[in-house]
Amino acid sequence: MNEKTRGTFRNNIGFVLAAAGSAIGLGNLWRFPYFAAKDGGGVFLLVYLLLTVTFGFALMLTEIAIGRKTQTTPLQAYGKLHRKFRFLGVIATAVPVIIFPYYCVIGGWVTKYGFTYLTGGSSEIYGTGAPAFFKGFLSDSVSPILWFFVFMVITGAVVLLGVEKGIEKASKFMLPVLLFLILGIAVYSLTLQHTDPATGETRTALDGLKIYLIPDFSGMTWNKFIGILLDAMGQMFYSLSIAMGIMITYGSYSQKESNLVRSVNQIEFFDTGVALIAGLIIIPTVFAFQGAEGLETAGPGLMFISLPSIFEQMGAAGNIVGALFFLLVLFAALTSSISLMEAVTASFMDSFGLRRSTAVLISFGIATVIGVTVCLGYNAFYADIPLPNGTTGQFLDVLDYLSNNLLLPIVALLTCVLIGWLCKPKVVLDEVKEGMGQKKFGRETMYVIMIRYVAPVFLLLILLQAFNLFWFLG
Ligand code: PHE
């Protein structure tokens, strides 16, 4: 893409909504509540918020500034900053190449559930019971592949339309609807209460809210705290879509005169806000219907098993809430997958001079091969594959591990080394200040400390954790 034909967002709102759309996704709606439940609610929230305004702020600002300064996608951008760092562009581009296909597979599951609820077919889920329905769907050799394609074709259509007509327009429509839906469902869910037929005990959502919001430091040890810290950090990365070239790509479409600090604040506000509200919906609801035990055992099945079971118990209202909930998740997942596909597509366009349509087709082709393999990983190719962090998983978990636990911290760490020590933070600071007309911005000193010292140390810790090297934590 040369400078003239390179897409740009029409205005800063478009940029912020598209970037927030990328950030807000399954990570906020499913992963965040799940970690918050696992890590004792309030303490996790506190750590997460602190990390977002310091560490997350620094890294996101860095990426957007790199994109806007170099006016190109990650495959080229790192090499433009430092000749010896061209390889980092390759790794950074590999991350969305890996994540995009499996994100579309999960997007396909969401589409399937959304479609089922919206067309009044919830009895299909309740007929077998939610756990059996989910299992049956996953182990079918055709259905998940079909829904994977449906989801990916919608994503591809938006990306094909380009930055302004596709991504910006779609984000400007989907994000406000998403915010409206999530607020509505949150208000409804906080009014819930449930009487356990077996014990006769009545629990309200508001009791669950206390577990979620009030930090409980009793029984806290250093080991536990470090575990929570690392969970919060990994979650923040994933949730803000950083260290995978996406913010560089979107930054390259943002306008020179926009205020990047303000934009980053807004993106983080939206992203964190939606995560907090998602927790506000899911934790109290699961608590009311399934008690503290339900929260502990829910885990990754939270969205596709626990919630549908609860919708079933709500009767007719449950069908409506289920439909709205999965529509919300679908929009969130779509805006994220659009950003993933755009990062891959635009990198191919910038690096090989391809037309958008050709680049979209290539991205589609690669994702098809990987995505279909991921789908078959639950049936024809089923295997329990051991991972270096001591767990086992299917093909999807292997890709998730490879991208999130391994490549992501490596990209982020090397970005910190590049900006903090080789190019010096001034490169980013100058770019940031260009659109602000100010000599200094708040948190500027903190930015430098973060990027040079604090972030690299934290990132190293995440990497150690990926290899299960915290033997001393037991
Ligand atoms: N940030 C997205 C979320 O919270 C996930 C995502 C990961 C999006 C990678 C794009 C790229 O779900």
Q: Residue 6 has what pLDDT?
A: 78
Quick one: what percent of the chain has pLDDT higher than 70? 97
**381: closest CA among 389, 391, 371?**
371
Q: How far apart are CA 303 and CA 71, in angstroms?
A: 39
Q: How far apart are CA 228 and CA 220, in angstroms?
A: 10
The dihedral formed by the CA atoms of 409, 414, 419 and 424, expressed in degrees to the nearest 10 = 140
By three-state DSSP, how is residue 204 classified? strand
Encoded tokens for 418: 């590049």
Q: How far apart are CA 182 and CA 184, in angstroms?
A: 5
**CA-proximal residue: ligand 1, atom 8 (nearest):** 336
pTM of the predicted protein model = 0.93
> What are the two backbone dihedrals, phi and then psi, of residue 436, each rounded to the nearest 5 degrees?
-105, -25
Lining ligand 1 with CB less than 6 A are 22-23, 25-28, 99, 238-239, 241, 244, 246, 336, 339-340
**26: closest CA among 94, 127, 107?**
107
- 202 forms bridges with which residues in the sheet? 195
190-207 pLDDT, tens per residue? 999 899 888 889 999 998
In which band, very low, low, confident or very high, does the pLDDT at 210 lie, cut at 50, 70 and 90?
Answer: confident
Token pair 């954790």: residue: 465
Separation of 241 CA from ligand 1 center, angstroms?
5
Q: What is the DSSP string of 121-185?
A: -HHHHHHH-HHHHHHHHHT-SSHHHHHHHHHHHHHHHHHHT-IIIIIIHHHHHHHHHHHHHHHHH
Question: Quick one: average pLDDT of 435-448?
Answer: 86
Go through 413-430 and write b for each residue having 16 or more CB atoms within 10 A of its CB, e for each that does not: bbbbbbbbeeeebebbbe
Separation of 420 CA from ligand 1 center, angstroms?
25
Separation of 331 CA from ligand 1 center, angstroms?
13
Q: Residue 140 has what pLDDT?
A: 93
Separation of 99 CA from ligand 1 center, angstroms?
9
**Antiparallel, parallel or unpaired: β 392-393 and 385-386:** antiparallel
> Would you tell me the crossing angle of helices 86-118 and 74-81 to the nearest 10 degrees?
150
The torsion region of residue 291 among left (phi > 0), alpha (psi -120 to 50) and beta comes to: left
- Which residues have C-beta within 8 Å of that of residue 124, sequence separation ≥ 6? 116, 133
Q: How far apart are CA 153 and CA 284, in angstroms?
A: 35
54-109 pLDDT, tens per residue? 999 999 999 999 999 999 999 999 999 999 999 999 999 999 999 999 999 999 99
172 has a pLDDT exceeding 50: yes
Question: Quick one: average pLDDT of 221-230?
Answer: 86
**Which one of 238, 249, 340 would you pick to mutate in the ligand 1 pocket, going by the greatest count of ligand atoms within 8 A of its CB?**
238
Please give the number of the atom of ligand 1 that sits closest to the Cα of 25. Answer: 12
Question: Quick one: average pLDDT of 322-330?
Answer: 95
CB atoms within 10 A of CB 213: 16
3 has a pLDDT exceeding 70: no
Q: How far apart are CA 146 and CA 372, in angstroms?
A: 10
Separation of 437 CA from ligand 1 center, angstroms?
32
By three-state DSSP, how is residue 327 classified? helix
**420: closest CA among 52, 92, 19, 66?**
66
Over the chain, what is the mean pLDDT? 91
The torsion region of residue 40 among left (phi > 0), alpha (psi -120 to 50) and beta comes to: left
